Amino acid sequence: MSELFEDNIIPIKTLRDFFQITGDTLGLDTQIGKTIQGVAYKSGDIGARVEIRPEWDPTIGQVVYNATGTQVFKILIDGTNTGDIIMGDYAGGAGTLWDNSDSSFNVRGILTATSIYYTSQYVYTGFESLDGWSTGTTGGSQTPLLGGANLQTGATINNYSFIDDEITGSVNEIDFGNKNSYFQTAIAVSSITNQTIYFGSGPLHAGDGTEQGYGFKIVNGTLYAINTETDGGSAIENTTEITGITLTNHNVYRAVFTTGTNVKFYVNDVLKATHTGNLPYFTDPILMSFYIKTAENANKILYMRYALISQDI
């Protein structure tokens, strides 16, 4: 039997060798070159403070509060929004959001910049005029207004009305195959029955097999995210139904297209659908289009406040 000598004894370190415990307070000695994992930390309970991996929300990596206890900085490290960084009161309309999944930087409030370097071209209209738009109707009308426009079908079944922002032969045509782009508008409708509506980028409503692009579609009172690919003279349409939107109210619709990858669809700044299949890939002169058709002997109206298209230079 071996003998146990004092030299062979290895002292066991307890928590008290690393921490100072005073009542409910746990302190830590200086430790150099050490790693502590899975630990939640906060510098205080009220006022200005910082929390790391707070126990009340494991999706947060770090959150910082100002003197009044309001969150002013937050990094998300888990969940569906992993990688997002929020500064200020973004939800309340005065802050910024780095959206990691979109690779986009969003600002709400006032943005002051000393210089801006543009990598995209923009076309924006408030529809004060329809100059530069191609128009068509069967008994309806297109009426430009200050800060908006209306499309009306007239009160005869199968009547339609449309406007297309068409730039034939221009270097500014929409290039689905090589350039990223996004479309945004604010619209409302007069009815939620017996109608078909398209709005977005590209000739979504062509009806002759040459449809391509992305945007939104309304059939009766059902809203869809839509993208269309033209392949060999036939159009392949990809749709996702979007629910919970009051279509007779003005809502903001946005679609973000990453060429060859996906198109993401937002309503009122909330992601509603992501499509990866049947993406358009040809060049097209129609930057934006709006179309409405009635399926009964009643006038249908599409109210548009503005339209915006952006594309990589």
Q: Kindly state the average pLDDT of the residues 24-39.
A: 61
Residue 306: closest CA among 235, 251, 245, 224: 251
Whether 306 has a pLDDT exceeding 90, the answer reads: yes
Q: What is the pLDDT of residue 146?
A: 84
Give the angle subtended at the CA of 37 by the CAs of 35 and 39, to the nearest 5°. Answer: 120
The CA distance from 293 to 196, in Å, is 5
Residue 199: closest CA among 313, 305, 279, 295: 305
**Any idea which residue has 């109608």 for tokens?**
195
The CA distance from 249 to 303, in Å, is 10
Q: Kindly state the average pLDDT of the residues 2-24.
A: 55
Residue 283: closest CA among 162, 181, 163, 134: 181
- The 10 Å CB-count burial string (b at 16+, else e) for 93-115 is eebebeeeebeeeeebeeeeeee
Structure confidence by residue, pLDDT tens digits, 252-290: 999 999 999 999 999 999 999 999 999 999 989 999 999
Structural domains of the chain, with CATH: 15-108 (no CATH), 121-312 (2.60.120.200)
The CA distance from 64 to 155, in Å, is 58
Whether 127 has a pLDDT exceeding 60, the answer reads: yes
The CA distance from 304 to 165, in Å, is 14
In the structure, what pLDDT confidence band is assigned to residue 32 with cuts at 50, 70 and 90?
low
Q: Kindly state the average pLDDT of the residues 18-37.
A: 59
Q: What is the pLDDT of residue 207?
A: 80
Beta pairing class for 25-28 and 19-22: antiparallel
> Which strands form 60-65's sheet, in the order they lie side by side?
41-42, 49-52, 60-65, 71-76, 85-89, 94-99, 104-108
Contact 105, 98 (CB under 8 A): yes
| Burial class of residue 81 (count of CB atoms within 10 Å of its CB; 0-12, 13-18, 19+) | middle
Contact 257, 140 (CB under 8 A): no
